[in-house]
Amino acid sequence: MIYASWQVRLAARIIHEGGVIAYPTEGVFGLGCNPLEKAAIERILKFKRRSMAKGLILIAADFTQLQPYLLPLTTQMRSNIESTWPGPVTWLLPARSNTPHWLRGSHDTLAVRITAHSMAASLCKRVGYAIVSTSANRTGHSPACTVLQARRSVGPWVDYILPGKTDGCLGPSKIFDGRSGQQIR
């Protein structure tokens, strides 16, 4: 289902204008912004009290939205990721050298996911590119699983909360290393 609601259009406009939103994903509410908008990234990191060295996750509606950030994948990598996408599985894949350090952190990889959440995918399609996705909570605190929890947790820190439901409070996505295929989280 493609969401073309005014809420998705508003969220996309806020992202285009350099803002930060909270939005539902498969497992939890996420904080999102334009991945090339460093000021928005800094707002998210400040709220979360998270080091830029850790890097961030990008979610996308399809693989073409991730390609500007990634080196070409081996056949084995592509086979591994295609068996899990779209879905709540994040892969650490080799990043292009021009991928901003605030996305990669201190790594040569980038955490990426093609979302299976229909509203999040519609948001990425409406925006036209991959967006940042990090759980809507401070580091060390429980992530938000509902709109109300997101309001309580991040309400004053974001420009908009996209109303919707997660696909069940599944927690943060699993993370796999693209080179080894090993699960990291």
Distance in angstroms (rounded) separating the CA atoms of residues 138 and 153 = 8
Domain 6-177 grouped into CATH 3.90.870.10? yes
DSSP β-bridge partners for residue 21 = 32, 160
Q: How far apart are CA 106 and CA 26, in angstroms?
A: 27
Per-chain mean pLDDT for the chain: 95
Task: pLDDT band for 36, please (50, 70, 90 cuts).
Answer: very high
For the chain, give every domain's residue range. 6-177
Mean pLDDT, rounded, for 133-151: 95
Assess whether pLDDT exceeds 50 at residue 1: no
Output 169 or 146, whichever has higher pLDDT: 146
Question: CA angle at residue 89 from 47 to 104, to 5 degrees?
Answer: 50
The tokens of 128 are what? Answer: 């036209």
Residue 4: the pLDDT is: 55
Q: What is the pTM of this model?
A: 0.94
Q: Report pLDDT digits (tens) over 9-35.
A: 999 999 999 999 999 999 999 999 999
The DSSP code sequence of 127-175 is HTS-EEEEESS-TTSPPP-SHHHHHHHHGGGSSEE-----SS---SPEE
**pLDDT over 70, % of the chain:** 97
Q: Could you give the CA distance from residue 114 to residue 87 in angstroms, rounded to a whole number? A: 6
Count of beta carbons in the 10 Å neighbourhood of residue 5: 15
Q: Is the pLDDT reported for residue 152 higher than 70?
A: yes
Task: Reduce the DSSP state of residue 116 to 3 states and report it.
Answer: coil
pLDDT in tens, 49-66: 999 999 999 999 999 999
Res 173: pLDDT: 79
**Three-state DSSP class for 76?**
helix
Q: If pLDDT is split at 50, 70 and 90, which confidence band does 185 have?
A: confident
What digits encode the pLDDT tens for the residues 162-184? 999 999 877 777 999 999 999 99
